Structure 1
């Protein structure tokens, strides 16, 4: 389990009296010849940031991963969140690009479905990249640049599980945890979370629910598919809920089955059943939500994991009684961790807004092309959640992955700079994985010259050309449908605050 010191007292702000080249990020990037001076230090081993690590390493940079968790892999491996969400544009247009597309292709082909297959994929992604697990950040040396407008993380001090203290001097540092282990210590404003959309107290933090993944075996998938899909749509939805569907690969819908389960606690809720067919009668279910979880609190997470196991023991009987093909189903073990979809996020150079997504806005510093519904998952005060809109395609700018006012801090994955509304879509793993890979390639291409925050339009255009030519990643010349045409400023503002739904 992770360990982290969140107190701001661990920060060391140093304002030098003499301008010295020693603070320069580029010095470290150019001279990274040992483990104490890597080009990039990544805090956390979530899959998204590992795409950045792989891309940067392939481009010739030295990378070190320092993980507060005791085991690598985060949400995907330890949380076993193997229900992969695929982004589409309008009319079912697939927009996956980059290395993450390979994972989705293997997933859809049935070659990567079981957790051991995902582990092998992760190990291949991380091959040759040192990962130190179970670390605790104990200090940051943060120095102001000569003009005092920007800061640089000069060094990171941490302890290993054995108690040994180490210090590293990175060229760049990447926040890649699901609880802001690094960025929570950078004295940055927190981006307002779910409390800004729902709830009666905007001053109190709120997060979208986390999920405890459930694993079962001895499920007759084909019997379930034939029984459910053999019904008329009207009969199917009357019995199981709106949009209930079973394919050969997965299910969605089944809202009435979830609603019929009594968890015995207001902290837990069984929503509609997203089920993955893992072959051989094995399935994974993404449906069991836990509310009021503090992702940064070790005890809160540990308690939720144990309660999730107990809930799973109760739910198996419910599913046996409610679903065809489940009469002989059994529990197939438990994940070691949770799928945490929401935590504290901190200001980036640009914070994406809901209207950016719905208007199909593209940016000259695009690092990803996205397209996923604005899916606001439930909270304790609004358990079912809501869908605020369905954008076509939109861009994700580099600036939304650069911590505000820092020369060398990058955020990855769910740490993306996005408002609570925009985060409902921007958080999706495939989209931020592409952004991370793109940034890793850019870092390798630059070799420290210039810094990411200093790229101008011409240099960015050259980066886009390189990405397109060598990696077949296209980030320019793409247009999506503007779904806000004719909407006045008042309604746009309401939408950005989460107070308006666009059908």
Structure 2
């Protein structure tokens, strides 16, 4: 039977289940009879078993990896989703993100780059899934079928869909399972010895009371977060049209992916405050359609269902207009037709857990390894647009950094691990760590960790503090196919620069960016009014208790755009931004009197008439450390 017909049969079963108030339940431990199950690939049960070793909340790829890993380690697992979804795969299969941001090893051969057979970090379950799909982009339906097959093949996994809501069952501050409400409003309590939160937004951890930040809150912008995307579809793709994409000077193409069409960013939005277009990322499907990831929708709160639905409506209204623009702007697309939008939004950012360790920009800047690393990342720190007038940024490109197991363990709450993009990452490094391949690696690690914690009769927090326990976990992960090597690499050149401590602080506070090649910091180049003003503005956002001035007004009177920043002007602006009233000609002496700047930084400044970017970074770094008491390292 074709996959399409399988899903039709499954849908009929789902409607039946909803009609009688039952969730959609697949128990792979008891194999279905040949009649209905062979057709649908699923079975229905009137009641799920109420006790499990592990409950995995969330059916995105990270949750699937966690469930598979736990099941393969002999645990009885329930995989459950509370979003009313009818298929596995979440962002990839319902958000239609079929071209992945890949987590590559530092060195890639020319053949790997040409063929798409890359050397991935971590490997494991992600690698096995990816290899079966093939290509740099994949067919979303094929991905869903493969996820279903992988889950169905594990006898220890039960699958529960059609759930209206789910929340943690707590005993004090320990998560002991989930309380779920089915589509008919019936409430049930499911017990577990461990719970893994693989929801996109860290919903279970939040409901359990684990601390977290939202969006750019850690950077002083609690209402700012990356734009969401609604992927849209075009039909009518042929091989000739596909090959014509590759003949454009601004566009790259391989067998399954295309990227470029940079003029798309000139799209005249019908609602420019809420929606915009960037260059196109395109993935081919097997049915002659393509999926396009390019639309940015602003000011959507992923934690507010009303806001999410509004974002969907905005995107669905705009998508046909975008397609008409593409058809008239690009000759190669004139014969393509609009064919709809994804069922779900692609949400990049919402909650950021506060765990036993929180990944920092310093970790990525220095390509740090950790004694408890259970996965590795390498993707660029890609910060997408925050709103109209902002154009996003590549903060820097790490070679390889470790993700500690402690970043999966929430503070204050036991019995729970959090995997995927809502794990314990600061918002800037999250721009790299949010990618799906890394998230699947954290899920795989969490599933194995559940086995260790249960067998040892210890909490996840105790496991996170145990060097012998983590060593056992790493051995388990290697045994199931994960690659936990830290590849050899030279220290980045910027790390040896005398102003590197200042650069590290400036990057951590979002004051500067390095781009894809880590050179845009321009440490030896002269600073400018615009750069220094940005730094002062960020100081006010990051440390408002200590820097309360208005830098725009402070600097407007004596710094012209393009002129170098003198030591006197820099010191004056820094003091006034901190609320210290002083005459400009007395500012340097006042800084020295207050002892905000270290002797090492004073000694670096050789030309007070024109400070370099690196020197201004050092001034700010010292002032934050000695005045606000915060050191970035």
For the superposition of Structure 1 and Structure 2, which TM-score range results when normalised by the shorter chain?
0.7 to 0.9
1:215 counterpart residue number: 233
Deviations 1:389-410 (A, max 9, x none): 0000111111111111322111
Deviations 1:385-440 (A, max 9, x none): 10000000111111111111322111111112111110000001001101211221
1:165 counterpart residue number: 187
Q: CA deviation at 1:176?
A: 1.6
Q: Does the CA contact (< 8 Å) of 2:356 and 2:409 recur in 1?
A: yes
Q: Does the CA contact (< 8 Å) of 2:352 and 2:426 recur in 1?
A: no
Alignment match of 2:131 (pick from 105, 126, 139)? 105
Task: Determine helix, strand or coil for the equivalent of 1:153.
Answer: strand
Task: Determine helix, strand or coil for the equivalent of 1:361.
Answer: coil
1:123 counterpart residue number: 148
1:339 counterpart residue number: 346
- Distance, in Å, in 1 between the alignment partners of 2:102 and 2:407 is 21
2:170 counterpart residue number: 141
1:284 counterpart residue number: 291
Q: Does the CA contact (< 8 Å) of 1:393 and 1:479 recur in 2?
A: no
Alignment match of 1:467 (pick from 471, 477, 502)? 477
1:267 counterpart residue number: 274
Deviations 1:247-271 (A, max 9, x none): 2321223232222342433111111
Q: CA deviation at 1:448?
A: 3.4
Q: CA deviation at 1:218?
A: 0.5
- Distance, in Å, in 1 between the alignment partners of 2:398 and 2:288 is 36
- Distance, in Å, in 2 between the alignment partners of 1:463 and 1:178 is 25
More deviation in 273-282 or 361-370?
273-282
2:429 counterpart residue number: 422
Q: Does 1:78 align with 2:107?
A: no
Unaligned runs of 5+ in 2: 1-47, 110-118, 519-633
**1:53-452 paired onto structure 2 within 5 Å:** 53-71=67-85, 72=87, 73-92=89-108, 94-96=119-121, 97-109=123-135, 113-127=138-152, 128-137=157-166, 140-143=169-172, 151-191=173-213, 193-194=215-216, 196-197=218-219, 202=220, 204-226=222-244, 228-230=245-247, 236-237=249-250, 244-380=251-387, 382-449=389-456, 450-452=458-460
Q: CA deviation at 1:223?
A: 3.3
Give aligned pairs, total. 446
Task: Give the 3 Å change call, closer, same or farther, for CA 313–175 of structure 1 in structure 2.
Answer: same
Q: Does 1:490 align with 2:502?
A: yes
Q: RCO greater where, 1 or 2, for CA within 8 Å and sep 6 or more?
A: 1
2:57 counterpart residue number: 43
Task: Give the 3 Å change call, closer, same or farther, for CA 382–395 of structure 1 in structure 2.
Answer: farther
Bigger share in helix:
2
Q: Does the CA contact (< 8 Å) of 2:211 and 2:411 recur in 1?
A: no
- Distance, in Å, in 2 between the alignment partners of 1:382 and 1:489 is 31
- Distance, in Å, in 2 between the alignment partners of 1:422 and 1:332 is 35
Task: Give the 3 Å change call, closer, same or farther, for CA 177–489 of structure 1 in structure 2.
Answer: same
Q: CA deviation at 1:345?
A: 2.0
Q: Does 1:501 align with 2:513?
A: yes
Structure 1 residue runs of 4 or more that deviate by more than 6 Å after TM superposition: none
Q: CA deviation at 1:275?
A: 0.4
The structure number with the bigger radius of gyration is 2
Deviations 1:432-465 (A, max 9, x none): 1012112212323554313332232123223323
Q: Does the CA contact (< 8 Å) of 2:194 and 2:450 recur in 1?
A: no
Q: Does the CA contact (< 8 Å) of 1:224 and 1:323 recur in 2?
A: no
Task: Give the 3 Å change call, closer, same or farther, for CA 457–420 of structure 1 in structure 2.
Answer: same
Deviations 1:203-227 (A, max 9, x none): 532211111011111124543534x
Q: Does the CA contact (< 8 Å) of 1:350 and 1:417 recur in 2?
A: yes
Q: CA deviation at 1:37?
A: 2.3
Task: Give the 3 Å change call, closer, same or farther, for CA 270–341 of structure 1 in structure 2.
Answer: same
Deviations 1:340-398 (A, max 9, x none): 11112221111100110121111111111211000001111554210000000111111
TM superposition score normalised by structure 1: 0.83
1:17 counterpart residue number: none
- Distance, in Å, in 1 between the alignment partners of 2:452 and 2:206 is 29
- Distance, in Å, in 1 between the alignment partners of 2:180 and 2:422 is 21
Q: Does the CA contact (< 8 Å) of 1:274 and 1:285 recur in 2?
A: yes
